[in-house]
């Protein structure tokens, strides 16, 4: 993977290791995806499968080896009551974002690993194993700034790597992304106020990555999400030149893990991912 190594920008290969960790977690997900499986329902009404836990186990072990001193906030662990104490730097992990899409078998689900530092997602990787697409962006501590990238995964190897960036909004109208399974009336009302050429419904954190890759201009989310749902994609958007902001104020989204935090403290306010702040309604 000489092309990948050239772009990771860290002497010790930590970025490459994180990308490979996401691919390894995706491999566990695909094992379940290829078989008959069932989903159970968590306390918040969201579905969960054995693939969620299998992927999280791989990620937690890998992060413990790579970054033993950095706390990890991971979805299934938090659901089980394991939430580390707050700190300036920590990982946010969603091992399988888009479980509803996983259950529907439409391929629009992702593995998400993000590193938060002082409230900012400084690095993130998003891998869509069924689609064989991987996105990453940002800079690990001690690394060189590299921007945002997209690649393909073939036989566990990351190939066809290219740099990505947000696009200039076309004069003909915006391409707006919306959730395939969680499209709210509030989101529809906001979209109705914009000059929209097309509205595309997509599952999981792929929406953030599509804004980062210049495939769309805006992703408004006026429905419940958690910090681990968006942190990795947010890092990619920022590294690609875009922004994730609070819907009500336009302020940049900030991540917090306060001392004594609970799962409820990790719920997101309404937000928007935009290629250009001038697009904010």
User: What is the widest separation between alpha-carbon atoms in the chain?
Assistant: 50
* Phi, psi (deg, nearest 5) at residue 275: -75, -25
Q: What is the full per-residue pLDDT of the chain (281 aa) written as tens digits?
A: 445 655 555 545 999 999 999 999 999 999 999 998 878 777 676 778 999 999 999 999 999 999 999 999 999 999 999 999 868 999 999 999 999 899 999 999 999 999 999 999 999 999 999 999 999 999 999 888 889 999 999 999 999 999 999 999 999 999 999 887 666 788 888 888 888 899 999 999 999 999 999 999 999 998 889 999 999 999 999 999 999 999 999 999 999 888 889 999 999 999 999 999 999 87
Angle between helices 50-66 and 14-33 (to 10 degrees): 160
Per the annotation, does 75 bind a ligand?
A: yes
The residue with tokens 């799962």 is: 263
Instruction: Find out whether 171 is annotated in a ligand binding site.
Output: no
Q: Any bridge partners for residue 135, and if so which?
A: 126, 150
Query: 110 among the known binding-site residues?
Result: no
Structural domains of the chain, ranges and CATH numbers in brackets: 2-164 (3.30.540.10), 174-279 (3.40.190.80)
The reply, when asked if residue 94 is annotated as ligand binding, is yes
Is 229 assigned a ligand-binding role in the annotation? Answer: yes
Q: Is 97 annotated as a binding residue?
A: yes
Q: Is 74 exposed, middle or buried (0-12, 13-18, 19+ CB in 10 A)?
A: buried
Backbone φ and ψ for 95, nearest 5 degrees, come out as: -70, -25
Chain centroid to Cα 165, Å, comes to: 16
CA atoms within 13 A on the CB side of 265: 14
């Amino acid at each position: 993977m000489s092309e990948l190594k050239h772009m990771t920008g860290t002497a010790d290969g930590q970025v490459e290791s994180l990308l490979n960790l996401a691919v390894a977690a995706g491999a566990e997900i695909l094992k379940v995806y290829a078989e008959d499986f069932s989903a159970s329902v968590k306390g918040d009404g969201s579905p969960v499968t054995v693939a969620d836990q299998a992927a999280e186990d791989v990620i937690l072990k890998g992060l413990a080896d790579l970054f033993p001193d950095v706390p990890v906030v991971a979805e299934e662990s938090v659901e089980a009551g394991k939430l580390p104490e707050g700190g300036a730097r920590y990982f946010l992990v969603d091992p399988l974002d888009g479980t509803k899409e996983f259950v529907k078998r439409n391929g629009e689900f992702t593995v998400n690993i993000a590193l938060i530092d002082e409230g900012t997602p400084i690095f993130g990787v998003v891998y869509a194993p069924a689609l064989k697409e991987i996105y990453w962006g940002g800079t690990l501590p001690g690394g060189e700034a590299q921007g945002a990238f997209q690649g393909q995964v073939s036989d566990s190897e990351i190939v066809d790597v290219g740099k990505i960036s947000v696009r200039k909004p076309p004069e003909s109208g915006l391409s707006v992304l919306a959730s395939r399974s969680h499209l709210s009336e509030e989101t529809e009302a906001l979209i109705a106020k914009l000059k929209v050429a097309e509205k595309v419904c997509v599952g999981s954190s792929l929406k953030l990555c599509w804004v980062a890759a210049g495939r769309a201009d805006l992703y408004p989310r006026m429905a419940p999400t958690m910090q681990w749902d968006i942190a990795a994609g947010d890092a990619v958007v920022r590294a690609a030149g875009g922004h994730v902001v609070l819907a009500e104020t336009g302020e940049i989204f900030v991540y917090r893990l306060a001392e004594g935090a609970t799962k409820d403290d990790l719920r997101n306010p309404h937000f928007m991912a935009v290629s250009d702040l001038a697009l904010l309604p």
